[in-house]
Structure 1
């Protein structure tokens, strides 16, 4: 190939490379119906701004310590970190299409005719080769962009895993505290049941109560004992589940609270719906995959455009080792490919990649609407549990008064034993329900923080 022809081959793709921008699909976010405000407005006693350690707003140093430990030791989060590293390495490998491929080969041979006692002949050769595909239409650039968006989506997956871990840690922590409180309440209920049984036995001995009252008192005490054992088993299961979050043996116990503060109220951050879309890692991951699918669609389409690769090599060969590089030879060349002639393959591949984009767009829209529903549900639950707590606290006072009155009237013979038993059971049920309401309120508050996007902004907060 003459120098003029070679120059023409090199110049032509450089001129055509300006066409790359004409083959890039511009990203447009799918149409979304996003409300300007939330349907539920009252979310608590106050509003806070998002911070890196927003879980500190629960004002529980013990909980904050456990969350911090979980973020540095959890296995699921470590796996998510490895997956992120793999995605980044994959993007780095794709970025290598910016540079030429370089290869070096060498060989040394020694041959001898075994029938004729001739002198062995030796030969040595080496070749240095460079090849580079010119990005005529922007295909290689879109491939890099696709890999970068996939890595970004994987990063958001890791963020979402971290948020899920925070929610699970808090949930187990509060459930253990709730069960500790229920166990204490059940112990108090057992004491009341034993006192009641002693009272009935005394009245039965004096003839003031029948055998039916005695049997009911004994059954009630047995039932409360069974409930007490069930609560202990539930606490053990939650303790084991919490330990596993820290990559520890189930026998390794974590710090825990003896009860929940039923008067605790937690402020929440106030964000507009459009801000939630910008913060939620699952939404950002879905949009990243949509943009990766769009770039991938361009790559598939452009893979059927003509391509041109330049190649150069420098080689040398000799039969004498000391003169191995004495006679180098250079080679320059260009290779053109015309894959568009495979018309059926072209059409099917493009149609498939277009469907991939449509599917990713549907997933993105679905993720957005699910995120908005999560916020609305959590707000509604939080507000409902707040009001139920107020009502149940009033109910608790009435139940305590009822028990005092029922006990005194039973001792006086004015009411049946069933009336006293119902009053005792009602008080224990209300105390248990009040503890459950506080647990549900805290969980709803955590869900609301997570639904609003939570936030683990710094890599130092997460392992992997």
Structure 2
């Protein structure tokens, strides 16, 4: 008797809807950002900009980054995914409006009775509209989820842009550094061959042994092998750079062969709290979390009754001009309520809630990882700067020791073993200097990337 009363039925449905679609507020994130970076070095002054790579001071790098942004397949795929998500918003919002379909048909029938045949024509034209009333907000929640997914795709595209520019800069620096190290190895190989000439001359004069001659020849071969290995690695790095540019390596004409003269920017890391508005990957994680909350509302709405309205108008006749002389109209309303589905709808709701918990955990992990990226980059910058000061001193002393060892060996006052040790020390010192120069520039690139590379959250975009 109670359910026969429309007002009571409506009140009951609204109460159920309120219970089913009420969104759950997200738990507060247990990630307390510090007031300042622990490893921030004093003196950082350069502000972030969207074209941050230009601060390194290489026109060639600037050109390569522009080429990558135009031709990289990964970035093109991210743009395509963004367009897919935009189309998904239209699809999700479509049920908020009635659906209207037109019908047209023509038929010719032939009847034969005994020996007499009869022909009859029939024409039909009609419109049919259907609309599902969004009683519980499930359709609106679906549109919200699609909008948040679209936002996340846009942030993903921005994150791909940032990652691509960073990877191009790192690959270019790596290739240039390896080419520089090839030159260092070649120079030391030539130096070792010159020393070999000295040993051969001393051997001819009876002042050097066959052992000394074999040792120096072995050292020359070792240097030549190291040069060949570095050249191979430089070519591999160039292939990696070409892949990022979306081109075959044969089309890449890289000229830079040394990092000497490039600028090492002094980047200001800012405050940790600003990181939330600087990182597109964090913005994407927030948007996905918001979409997951809306998906829960969608799943809950599916567990409740659905009200569908239908209307149609049509006409039919033997001649087209007579079709609407006697039109037919139809109006219908239907209420469909789930009774038994073997737990499918409840499981869908549980799945949506678990998905939200997963994304919440991913968001927390992303925040921790982002702060770690910044701290690691800052620590590397500080550590490499301290190492370079001592490495310059080490190189000066290695050069001085080699000159002294060569002079003493020529004079017969020192053995070849001392000379070999001085050669190895000089090679290691020059190679370490080039490696540290690369590390300093790479650390700056990683800091730019960790800080978002000048990206800013769009105005009006709210956090999840």
Tell me the TM-score normalised to structure 1 length. 0.91
Say which SS state the counterpart of residue 105 (structure 1) adopts: strand
2:79 is the counterpart of 1:81 = yes
Query: Compared with structure 1, are the counterparts of its residues 309 and 455 closer, same or farther at alpha carbon in structure 2 (3 Å cutoff)?
Result: farther
Aligned to 2:94: 96
1:46 is displaced (CA, Å) by 2.5
Could you tell me which residue of structure 1 aligns to residue 462 of structure 2? none
Aligned to 2:178: 179
Q: Verify: 1:285 aligned to 2:284, yes or no.
A: yes
Residues paired across the two proteins, number = 449
The aligned counterpart of 1:59 is 57
Instruction: Please state if 1:268 is matched with 2:267.
Output: yes
Tell me the residue number matched to 1:108.
106
Aligned residue in 2 for 1:192: 191
Q: Distance in 1 between matches of 2:34 and 2:344?
A: 44
* Pairing 1:410–2:409 present: yes
Distance 2:48 2:326 in 1: 70
- Deviation by residue 1:218-261 (Cα, 9 ceiling, x = unmatched): 11111111111112211211222212222212211233312112
Structure 1, unaligned stretches of length 5 or more?
A: 1-7, 460-464
Query: In the aligned structure 2, how far is the partner of 1:122 from the partner of 1:311?
Result: 29
Residue aligning to 1:153: 152
RMSD value over aligned CA atoms? 2.5
Give the equivalent residue in structure 1 for 2:446.
Answer: 447
CA distance in 1, matches of 2:417, 2:333: 99
For 1:46, the equivalent position in structure 2 comes to 44
Deviates more, 1:136-145 or 1:447-456: 447-456
Question: 1:263 offset after TM fit, Å?
Answer: 7.5
Corresponding residue for residue 427 of structure 1: 426
Distance 1:286 1:263 in 2: 36
8 Å contact from structure 2 (residues 303, 346) kept in 1: no
Distance 2:36 2:167 in 1: 29
Provide the rounded CA distance (Å) in 2 between the counterparts of 1:255 and 1:362.
Answer: 43
Aligned to 1:128: 127
* 8 Å Cα contact 1:57/1:267 also seen in 2: no
Change (3 A) 1:231 1:310: same
Contact 1:52 1:457 in 2 (8 A): no
Maintained 8 Å contact 1:277/1:371: no
Q: Offset of 1:16 from its aligned partner?
A: 5.6
Structure 1 residues 142 and 289 mapped into 2: Cα distance closer, same or farther (>3 Å)? same
Whether contact under 8 Å (1:176, 1:256) holds in the other structure is no
Deviates more, 1:94-103 or 1:209-218: 94-103
Displacement of 1:342: 4.7
User: Does the 8 Å CA contact 1:52/1:458 hold for their aligned counterparts?
Assistant: no
Q: 1:169, 1:254 → 2: CA distance?
A: 15
Moved more, 175-184 or 191-200: 175-184
Q: Is the 8 A contact 2:280 2:455 kept in 1?
A: no
CA contact 1:48–1:270 (8 Å) conserved in 2: no
Q: Is the 8 A contact 1:131 1:309 kept in 2?
A: yes
Q: What do the CA deviations read for 1:389-429 (whole angstroms, capped 9, x no partner)? A: 11101111111111111111111212110111111121111
Aligned to 1:5: none
Distance 1:285 1:267, change over 3 A: same
Aligned match of 1:33: 32
Cα separation, 1, equivalents of 2:338 and 2:19: 21
CA contact (8 A) 1:410 1:420 kept: yes
* Structure 1 contact 101–132 (Cα < 8 Å) conserved: yes
Q: Secondary structure at the match of 1:47?
A: coil
Q: Which residue of 2 aligns with 1:3?
A: none
How many Å apart are 1:27 and its aligned residue?
4.4
Q: Does 448-457 or 341-350 show the bigger shift?
A: 341-350
Q: Deviations over 1:256-277 (max 9, x none)?
A: 3121127843121322222112
SS at match of 1:112: strand
Correspondence for 1:4: none
- Rounded to whole Å, the distance in 1 between the matches of 2:109 and 2:340 is 47
1:209 aligned partner: 208
Change in Cα spacing, 1:51 to 1:21, as seen in structure 2 (3 Å) is farther
Mapping of residues 356-371 of structure 1, within 5 Å: 356-371=355-370
Local SS of the residue matching 1:119: strand
Between the aligned partners of 2:174 and 2:347, the Cα distance in structure 1 is 54
Provide the C-alpha distance between the structure 1 equivalents of 2:216 and 2:260, rounded to a whole number of angstroms: 32
SS in 2 for 1:121: strand
Do the aligned residues in 2 keep the contact of 1:305 with 1:339 (CA within 8 Å)? yes
